Chains A and B, each alone.
Chain A
Amino acid sequence: MTVLPIAGSHDSGPISHPIRRRMITSGVFWLGLGLLLFLVLFSFLGPRYYQKDVNTVNVARALLPPSWTFPLGTDVLGENELGRLMIGGQVPIIAGFVAALAATVLGGCIGIVAGLRGKTSDVIAMRTADAILGVPQVVAIVVAETIFHIGSTVTIIAFVLTAWPVTARLVRAETISLRIQPFVEAAHATGTRWMGLIWRHILPNLIDSFVATFTTQFTNAILVFAVTSFIGAGLGPPWNWATMINANKDALLSGQWWLIVLPGLLFAVLVTAVYLLGESIRSAFDPHTDHRGG
């Protein structure tokens, strides 16, 4: 069964869907995806094949400059810097992702409920959100760790509890603007139940907001966790880039600047990758942006 190629017709395969097409042809999308994939592979696959002296303390060969044995030199304890950088990325990526996901889901649910039900639940939700918005995440995480114990779970939960209002406000505003649209009113008038309304009419239109807010939460989480790891409010074993910066910060004085510069740059690359990816997905959903430039 062949399809006759008619001039001007479009293949109705999976790529032709306009949003997907915009994503795939966008250079920003591939740049972001590529950077993110590189970092993920670097952090998770790298250590499987490259384990040279990552955790062996040997102060005799501390702070060596880059060489063939140690491509990025050694840190203050004589461990392989390149290997440590690889493992150091695991925690920011996973913890950031999980925290962002939880915050988005929690904020999204609260936002949708507040937007749809309105009146009391809306007021309660928004007042709580306003109160929580004033709490700096780092302070909340430190306080939570003082009360409970130092660890990833506490950190992530404390972050999620202080980060959901951002998402909730956004989702609520979008939900309200959707709720007053004729098609939602029509669906409601014909007797669609709440879940059907949410599932079929509201959520699909919220996808790009969700992506955008997830991206923001992810970048926020990465930067917040960087600060908390730097000051020692542990983010679980193994170490991460920020604790490496903390451990090696005196190395600046002795001249091994790359021990500090590299982890910081990797943070920037991670944040950039997530941001670019999110931006390109978001603008793919937006029919108003000019998509020709990519």
Chain B
Amino acid sequence: MRGVGLYLLGRVMQGLLVLIFVSMLTFLALNFLPVYAPSNAMGTVASGVVSEPAFIHLALPVQYLRWITGLLAPKNLKTVLALTVPTLALLTISGAISLVVALTLASIQARFRGRLIDRMLGTLAYALYTLPAFWVGLMLLWVFADVLLWLPATGPQPVPSTGLFDWPMHMILPVATMVITTVASWANQFRSAMEAALVSDYVRTARAKGVHEGRILRRHVLRPASLPVITAVGMSLPTMFNNLVGVEVVFVMSGLGGAITGMIGELQYGVSGYLVLAIAAITFAGSLFADVLYAMADPRIQFAG
């Protein structure tokens, strides 16, 4: 396990470098916004009659440092965290559920490959993939919150503060939307991975030995298929985020996606730079997590760098 630890450290350092680089890029971009209002990443200060960019008298690197440490200011930190937590919750919950559902679907497809159920599930998965996430969300909203009146029409709202049992009810539809779209994009890849494992030699041996089919699936197919599965999951975080933005807008959730939407045309420098950093951090954490699993699943990875 020591090898995994070292590998992890290397990856974390790499990722931190990328994060720092991204933060510098963000800062520069916000600083030189070619807009009519003379301001920069730090906002404006009223000096005399007109307002001018804040701290413009300081050197650029110093401004950058002030901006970065500004993230730790309680006010900024609270805003950013308040926005990040709902998004993270949505991402992790839908991710976990999608994983289970997609794996189950893929196992069924691989087990009965070539037969009707395989093709039906494949077509269904593909059909769901072609639909925009926000549209699926709207449809679910319409059916369950409008026509059937079973579920509330928005995601969790901070105000008025909802009771303990309300949060799950409010999360059902957004999570369902995310799960549908994510499973749609994962189903095909998981299925190929499982199929590849199913036709391998050791599975043939196991069958020849008389091992029960279900046991074969669990012990001999799931593990080698897990590598492409982990890769697919790790690489799909950006796509999940794309869908998440749409879902957060449809269900009026106050998360990173909704905040990003608010950035359009509004030039809100205050926290927007930090939001971008938060998103970058989430994405990086996701791929790091995937790398950890990958390195644990296949020890050869660590040495390949």
Interface residues of A (CB under 8 A from B): 131, 133-139, 142-143, 145-148, 150, 219, 223-224, 226-227, 230-233, 242, 245, 249, 252-253, 257, 260-261, 263-264, 267-268, 271-272, 275
Contact = CB atoms under 8 A, between A and B. Distances in A.
Given A131-B18, A136-B245, A232-B265, 15 more contacts: A131-B21, A134-B284, A134-B287, A142-B261, A142-B264, A143-B276, A223-B242, A226-B134, A227-B133, A230-B246, A242-B134, A252-B146, A264-B135, A267-B131, A268-B127
Contacts of B127: 268, 272
B238 A146 contact: no
B245 A227 contact: yes
Contacts of B287: 134
B45 interface: no
B142 interface: yes
A107 to B, nearest CB: 16
B245 A138 contact: yes
16 contacts: A134-B18, A134-B284, A137-B238, A146-B264, A147-B29, A147-B33, A223-B242, A227-B246, A230-B246, A231-B246, A231-B249, A245-B138, A252-B142, A263-B135, A264-B139, A267-B135
Nearest to A219: B130
B42 interface: no
A227 B142 contact: no
B135 A245 contact: yes
A134 B132 contact: no
Contacts of A230: 132, 134, 246, 249
Contacts of A226: 132, 134-135
A272 B132 CA distance: 12
A134 B249 contact: no
Contacts of B134: 226-227, 230, 242, 245
Given A139-B276, A143-B276, A231 B142 contact: no
B279 interface: yes
Contact of B280 (A134, A147, A253): A134
A258 to B, nearest CB: 12
Interface string B263-295: 111010000100010011001100100000000
Nearest to B266: A146
A143 B279 CA distance: 12
A145 B264 contact: yes
B283 A136 contact: yes
B241 interface: yes
B265 A150 contact: yes
B138 A249 contact: yes
Interface of B: 18, 21, 26, 29-30, 33-34, 126-127, 129-135, 138-139, 141-142, 146, 235, 237-239, 241-243, 245-246, 249-250, 260-261, 263-265, 267, 272, 276, 279-280, 283-284, 287
B146 A134 contact: no
A257 B135 contact: no
Contacts of B142: 252, 257, 260
Given A138-B245, A146-B272, A227-B245, A275 B260 contact: no
Given A133-B238, A252-B138, A139 B260 contact: yes
A233 B130 contact: no
Q: Is the interface of B mostly helix, strand, loop or mixed?
A: helix
A207 B250 CA distance: 40
Nearest to A226: B132
A245 B137 CA distance: 12
Q: Is the interface of A mostly helix, strand, loop or mixed?
A: helix
A271 B279 CA distance: 28
Given A231-B249, A260-B138, A267 B132 contact: yes
A148 B263 CA distance: 12
A136 B279 contact: yes
Given A134-B237, A231-B264, A139 B135 contact: no
B24 to A, nearest CB: 13
B295 to A, nearest CB: 16
Of A137, A138, A245, most buried by chain B (CB within 10 Å of CB) is: A138
A235 to B, nearest CB: 12
A136 B238 contact: yes
Of B146, B238, B283, most buried by chain A (CB within 10 Å of CB) is: B238
A232 B265 CA distance: 9
A148 B264 CA distance: 11
B124 to A, nearest CB: 13
Query: 7 tightest CB-CB pairs across the interface, nearest first?
Result: A136-B241, A264-B135, A271-B130, A136-B238, A268-B130, A134-B283, A226-B132
A150 B18 CA distance: 27
Given A147-B29, A267-B132, A267-B135, A134 B238 contact: yes
Contacts of A131: 18, 21
A267 B127 CA distance: 11
Nearest to B28: A147
B283 A260 contact: no
A253 B235 CA distance: 37
A166 B122 CA distance: 24
Of A223, A226, A260, most buried by chain B (CB within 10 Å of CB) is: A223
B246 A146 contact: no
Of A139, A150, A223, most buried by chain B (CB within 10 Å of CB) is: A139
B239 A136 contact: yes
